[in-house]
Structure 1
Amino acid sequence: MRGSSKIQDQILSEHLSEFNLGLAEPCSSSDIAVRQTRTGGTVEGKPEYEVLVTNTCECSQSRVLLRCYGLSSVEPVNRRAIRPVDEERCIVGGGRPITRGAPIRFKYAWMTPQDFPVISTQIHCQ
């Protein structure tokens, strides 16, 4: 009987470990950070900004949508990094997953810095 108790304890311990993993706080769209800085350059008299989109979560996040209202810029913006999907939203990195430590960067030039709030993401945890 003593041997079966050890097996039961081990099974219970494994299930509790799986349960505790489920209690860990999952990633959310708030783990996508959008930071921008002035590059110091100007394009057609407008200040240039560099935007860095990072994922601070262990899980990758794809289909990152930002509110961008058409992404106004007097210089061409790298469409592989960000592109409008409609009048209001832009998709980052073509929808590909953004992993921690692999940010997406792009530059634009406009009269004032634009806000790029995160609208939604698709989270991929394993």
Structure 2
Amino acid sequence: MKTKNANESADKIISMPVVNLHAAGIDLGSKSHFVCVSQDNVKEFGVFTIDLHAIARHLKEHEVQTVAIESTGFYWRPLYLLLLDYGFEVVLVNARHLKNVKGHKTDVVDCKWLQLLHSIGLLSNSFQPNEC
């Protein structure tokens, strides 16, 4: 059961103005990636190259322009580079900077949380040095 403070915090975040109208959030994993293009549209994808292209096509179909992903392990790098090649703005978020939702954590909850925070402009991009 949520406490009064947790409910108030969630309500404040949800009522904030949207600054990234076409934003998505992706929760990356070793066996699957969960993609949220809106709070009522979450889809699970595999992790192979063909699946990563399917993610990019899915994002294009939903007119997504900017994508937030967590920099967890090394799972982020192939998708990050592929999404850049497809022309997306990719925000690489340090997992330590995210405030996780209290309660039962799932991949669906995580990708929805990323999408919500990104759509209201609360995520900062991690530094990425130029390739040599």
TM-score w.r.t. length of structure 2: 0.25
Higher strand fraction: Structure 1 or Structure 2? 1
TM-score w.r.t. length of structure 1: 0.26
